[in-house]
Amino acid sequence: MRLPRSAFTSRPWRARALVRDFRVEDVWRLPTPGGPDELDRLVRQFANGNEGHLASRTSRLLFAVRWRLGRILGWDRPGSGVGGRVPSLRDRLPRDLRDGERGPDLRTLPMTSVFQTHDEWVAEMGNATVHGVMHIGWVQDGSGGHHGVMTVLVKPNGRLGSLYMALIKPFRHLGVYRALVREIGREWEIGRSGETAREGDAVREGDAGCRGRAVRER
C-alpha cells in the first residue's frame, strides 16, 4: 500500500504549488475503489469517521505518549499552530481555489481543510514541532476504476521538529499509518454496503408502489 514519493510529485496536483517548502514524508494507496466522482464521499468519511488512527495498540500508545509530551512541553499550546506560529496554506491559495469549496474540518484530529476540488483535498495542522499537510488525491487505477492516494507532507520547526519526526518515524510506519489505511478501507466498504442496501430498499419500495398502482387500476 505504500507508494514512492513520485506518486505525488509526478502528478500535476494543484497542491504542489502550495507546498514547495514542505517535504513529502509518506505516500499511501488507499483501499477505496470507486468511480470518477467519489472523492467527496471519501472526504466526508475522513471528516466524520471514527478514530481510525487509534485502531492498533502501537498507534494508541504512540498518540497517548505524544499528547502527554505535548501537554508537558507545551507543543500544542494556543498560538503554536496554524494561524499562530505558522500561517495557513489558505494564505497561499490562488483566487479560484480560495473562492471555491474549502472542504470539512476533521472531527477526530486537529486538522483544518485548505481546499477541495473534484480530485484533490488538502488539510493542515500545526504545533510547536511541525507544520503538517495531508493531501488526498483521487486517481485512476489503470483498469477503469479510481481510488484515493494519501500523501503526508511536513515542514519541521528547526532541530526540535526534525528530531521529533525522526523519533516517531518507525512508529508511524509500523503502527499508525498501516492501521489508519486499513480502517479507511473498512469504513469505505461499510459505507458502500450501506449505499447498496439503501438502493435495494428504494428499488423494492418502487416495485411495491408499482404493484399497488396496478392492483388499484384493475
The predicted-structure confidence for 47-99, as pLDDT tens digits, reads as follows: 886 554 444 555 555 556 555 655 655 566 777 678 888 899 999 999 999 99
- Per-residue confidence (pLDDT) for residue 194, from 0 to 100: 63
The predicted-structure confidence for 178-215, as pLDDT tens digits, reads as follows: 888 888 899 999 988 766 545 555 545 656 565 656 55
Q: Which three cell numbers stand for residue 105?
A: 474540518
User: CA 109, CA 62: separation in Å to the nearest integer?
Assistant: 14
The predicted-structure confidence for 105-122, as pLDDT tens digits, reads as follows: 988 778 899 999 999 999
- Per-residue confidence (pLDDT) for residue 92, from 0 to 100: 96
User: CA 88, CA 124: separation in Å to the nearest integer?
Assistant: 8
**pTM reported for the whole predicted model:** 0.81
